Chain A
Amino acid sequence: MKPKVVKVKKGKGKAVTGSVFIFPGPEGWEAWSTTEDGAQCVGPMDSPKKLEGGAGCVVCLPSRSFFSTPLWIPIEEGITPRELAKIALESKNLLGTNPDSAVWAMDPIRAEPDPATRDGGPGSRQQKTKLVSKERAIDSIRAEPELSVGDESPGMRQLEAIAILTGTLDEEWLLEEAGRHEIAGRVLPAPAVNASGVLRKELGRWVVDFYSGGKWLHTQPLLARELERGVSAEIASLLAQMDAEGTLGPLSLLVLRHEGELPLGGQDFLKQLPCPVRTESRAAPRLPTAPWDLEPSVLAERRLAKAQKGERQKFIRMGIGLYAALVALALVYISVPLVRRHLIQRELAGIGVESAKIRDAAMSWREAGALVNPKMNALELLWQVSRPLIEKDPGEIDGVRLTTFDYNSKRLILQGEGKDLEQTEKYFEWLKKEPMLAAFQWKHPQPKLLPNGNAQFQAEGIPLGWQVEEEGGTDANVNAP
């Protein structure tokens, strides 16, 4: 018993568990899917684009978009059936002007001894010769020419169901998210007899699918739009043709799959058919055991173009990302000193006023150095520079006397005489090492030797923190704490 098909509106269905089939139904496009409750059908819609097939859906091609032909192919060693089928299709001019780019698929139906070869008749020889002449380019045939001219062994042939995409597909039927393109007749279940046919309505037109041994063999759209005498004549003619070609054999059953009441005259039409007829409801599509993918070339081109565009966009995005990263780095690089400056200014604002007060106090103290700083006091300095020369216990430097003591707030100049250079140098060393004179930086030219052997010297002390100006004067560096 067939499971019940639930018909739902778009967007109202239950959670889908398997593939979604975009199927050309009787009145329009339908989306068939499987849910936990069974098959579910959404539609019909006038365009597959209006259905939510989702990524990887199976688009079932309607009969008007492809050409199908059952074809007998001789079984040859070393040559694949597809190559032979291609040669045969080319010879019938079914693959168009560019056979290599044609989209087609085939499915083996059955094999049997080739009657032409078995009979040894000219037909078989002629057929083989014709095939071989087409395949001259195939090296394998050249390597085994005896296969094409063999005349003693009975040959075998294989029936192939072939579908070829014809022309360009309707723009509305191209779904970029589609994962597979199948033939509508192939995804429908075949009647359980050897040779059978299924009459169904597809996008407003009657179509007949033929099955052999449970496999799809051929689909033929019918010219007549209503079930009438013309349809039966068309079917009879098709059956006669297929019988002559030996592709289908005697039709065991013709199934009319239709929902609802048959149109007026439908019952009369069924009686006119030359085989047993059964009417049944429509069945849910499912993927055959060896599914095809007849992807339209335009879709493949579009996907390729999209992939290339995606690649280009990826590079552009990478470039933009790189640019953004560089800009961000530059911003960080620029903002680092700004942040530092802000932090320093904040800290400075906290202590700036107080430190300025302390600085002013230090400056005042320095200005009043002669008054408040013993190391800058004239009397104290006079005592300190004279002390090693006049103190007798212990006598530090002997034989040195000062002749000039010249002090102001900017420098201290000492002039004098020593009894020899050694004592003079000793005095200089003392000046430099004495803690009370450490507020001065001392410099002295080489002492001058006098005719009496004495050494005349001069030493100049500059207070530390005072800078000697180019003019010779000095100025206080008040910034130094």
Chain B
Amino acid sequence: MRTLTRHEKKLTLFLAFAVLAGIHLLGLKFLLSWDQANRREVVRKRDELEEARGWMEQKAEWEEKSAWLEKNLKTVPTENPAPGLQKKSQSAATAAGLKIEEQTLQAPRPGVACTVVSNRMRLTGSLGQFIQWAGQLYQPEIGVALTSLNLKLSSEPPKMVGEAEVGQFFRTSKE
């Protein structure tokens, strides 16, 4: 095999350096992007950790509340609870002297932790009657409360027109 001339040796060396530099640049690019992904992941994990620490600091408070929910909220019964709720809210309204204009049972709203069965009602009466009705309905030990209330003065004050949603909370059973 012929030995390389000085010029050819220089060119070969230059080529080798260029190839080496190219490999380094590619490697650098890969490393930097990998490093960036790592750093982003670290930021994400750090936020996650901060949040977890935050929850841990409130552990005692939330455990107490969680225990209350466990104790008082029942799981969704197999029998539809909506008619019972409607009956309960209707009798409470009658007892408070409110006039029921309209009422509709709503489809159960499943949430992450709770499922709400509700009855939407349109009522008329005085503010005092509304307050009495709401007071009678609010029964946290069986999970019943007003979930929404829209009160407006009617054209004949102090009579009021109200739209209310009475909800009963059930614990969503975890599979």
Whether chains A and B associate is yes
Task: Write the residues of chain A forming the contact surface with B, with a CB cutoff of 8 angstroms.
Answer: 330, 333-334, 337-338, 340-341, 344-345, 347-348, 351-352, 354-365, 367-368, 370-372, 377-379, 382-383, 403-409, 478-479, 481
- How far, in whole Å, are A344 and B140 apart by their CA atoms in the complex? 41
- List, in ascending order, chain A residues with CB within 8 A of B114's CB: 364, 367-368
Report the stretch among B66-74, B78-86, B91-99 that lies at the interface: B66-74
- How far, in whole Å, are A371 and B144 apart by their CA atoms in the complex? 7
Closest residue to B153 on the A side, CB-wise? A403
The smallest beta-carbon distance between B28 and chain A, in angstroms, is: 8
Closest residue to B146 on the A side, CB-wise? A378
Chain B 22-47 per-residue mask, 1 if CB under 8 angstroms from chain A, else 0: 00000000010011001101100110
Indicate if the CB atoms of B48 and A348 lie closer than 8 Å.
Answer: yes
Report the stretch among B8-16, B52-60, B100-108 that lies at the interface: B52-60
| 20 interchain pairs, CB-CB under 8 A | A334-B34, A334-B38, A337-B38, A340-B42, A341-B38, A355-B52, A356-B52, A358-B63, A360-B113, A362-B62, A362-B65, A363-B113, A365-B62, A367-B169, A368-B73, A377-B146, A378-B148, A379-B149, A382-B131, A405-B149
- List, in ascending order, chain B residues with CB within 8 A of A407's CB: 148-150
Q: How many residues of B contact A (CB 8 A)?
A: 52
- How far, in whole Å, are A378 and B54 apart by their CA atoms in the complex? 29
- List, in ascending order, chain B residues with CB within 8 A of A368's CB: 69, 73, 113-114, 143, 169
Indicate if the CB atoms of A365 and B48 lie closer than 8 Å.
Answer: no
Indicate if the CB atoms of A365 and B49 lie closer than 8 Å.
Answer: no
A341-B38, A372-B140 are known contacts. Are A481 and B58 too (CB-CB below 8 A)? Answer: yes
Please tell me which one of the listed residues B51, B54, B56, B69 contacts residue A365 in the complex, with CB atoms under 8 A apart: B69
- List, in ascending order, chain B residues with CB within 8 A of A378's CB: 134, 145-149, 164
Query: Which 7 A-B residue pairings sit nearest by Cβ, starting from the closest?
Result: A364-B113, A361-B66, A408-B148, A355-B52, A481-B54, A378-B146, A355-B55
A361-B66, A367-B111, A481-B51 are known contacts. Are A354 and B151 too (CB-CB below 8 A)? Answer: no
- List, in ascending order, chain B residues with CB within 8 A of A365's CB: 62, 65-66, 69
A368-B114, A371-B140 are known contacts. Are A333 and B45 too (CB-CB below 8 A)? Answer: no
The verdict on B167 contacting chain A, using a C-beta distance below 8 Å, is yes
Indicate if the CB atoms of A479 and B51 lie closer than 8 Å.
Answer: yes
The verdict on B112 contacting chain A, using a C-beta distance below 8 Å, is yes
Indicate if the CB atoms of A379 and B135 lie closer than 8 Å.
Answer: yes
- How far, in whole Å, are A352 and B50 apart by their CA atoms in the complex? 11
Indicate if the CB atoms of B151 and A405 lie closer than 8 Å.
Answer: yes
Indicate if the CB atoms of A379 and B146 lie closer than 8 Å.
Answer: yes
Chain B 120-138 per-residue mask, 1 if CB under 8 angstroms from chain A, else 0: 0000000000010011001
- How far, in whole Å, are A369 and B164 apart by their CA atoms in the complex? 16
Indicate if the CB atoms of B146 and A370 lie closer than 8 Å.
Answer: yes
Q: How many A-B residue pairs have CB under 8 A?
A: 148
A344-B46, A360-B113, A479-B51 are known contacts. Are A382 and B149 too (CB-CB below 8 A)? Answer: yes
A363-B113, A378-B134 are known contacts. Are A344 and B149 too (CB-CB below 8 A)? Answer: no
Please tell me which one of the listed residues A356, A379, A403, A479 contacts residue B152 in the complex, with CB atoms under 8 A apart: A403
Q: A333-B35, A334-B34, A368-B143 are in contact. List 6 more A-B contacts (CB 8 A).
A: A355-B52, A359-B51, A372-B68, A404-B152, A404-B153, A481-B57
Closest residue to A366 on the B side, CB-wise? B113
Indicate if the CB atoms of A334 and B31 lie closer than 8 Å.
Answer: yes
Indicate if the CB atoms of A341 and B152 lie closer than 8 Å.
Answer: no
Task: Write the residues of chain B forming the contact surface with A, with a CB cutoff of 8 angstroms.
Answer: 31, 34-35, 38-39, 41-42, 45-46, 48-49, 51-59, 62-63, 65-66, 68-69, 73, 111-114, 131, 134-135, 138, 140, 143-153, 164-165, 167, 169, 171
Indicate if the CB atoms of B38 and A338 lie closer than 8 Å.
Answer: yes
A345-B45, A379-B146, A403-B153 are known contacts. Are A372 and B58 too (CB-CB below 8 A)? Answer: no
- How far, in whole Å, are A404 and B65 apart by their CA atoms in the complex? 33
Indicate if the CB atoms of A362 and B55 lie closer than 8 Å.
Answer: yes
Closest residue to B147 on the A side, CB-wise? A370
Indicate if the CB atoms of B35 and A361 lie closer than 8 Å.
Answer: no
The smallest beta-carbon distance between A362 and chain B, in angstroms, is: 5
The smallest beta-carbon distance between B71 and chain A, in angstroms, is: 12
The smallest beta-carbon distance between A219 and chain B, in angstroms, is: 45
Indicate if the CB atoms of B39 and A337 lie closer than 8 Å.
Answer: yes
- List, in ascending order, chain B residues with CB within 8 A of A357's CB: 66
The smallest beta-carbon distance between A308 and chain B, in angstroms, is: 18
Indicate if the CB atoms of B49 and A348 lie closer than 8 Å.
Answer: yes
Indicate if the CB atoms of B45 and A341 lie closer than 8 Å.
Answer: yes
- How far, in whole Å, are A378 and B145 apart by their CA atoms in the complex? 8
Closest residue to B58 on the A side, CB-wise? A481
Indicate if the CB atoms of B65 and A371 lie closer than 8 Å.
Answer: no
- List, in ascending order, chain B residues with CB within 8 A of A356's CB: 52
Closest residue to B57 on the A side, CB-wise? A481
- How far, in whole Å, are A481 and B171 apart by their CA atoms in the complex? 21
Please tell me which one of the listed residues B31, B138, B167 contacts residue A330 in the complex, with CB atoms under 8 A apart: B31
- How far, in whole Å, are A351 and B56 apart by their CA atoms in the complex? 8
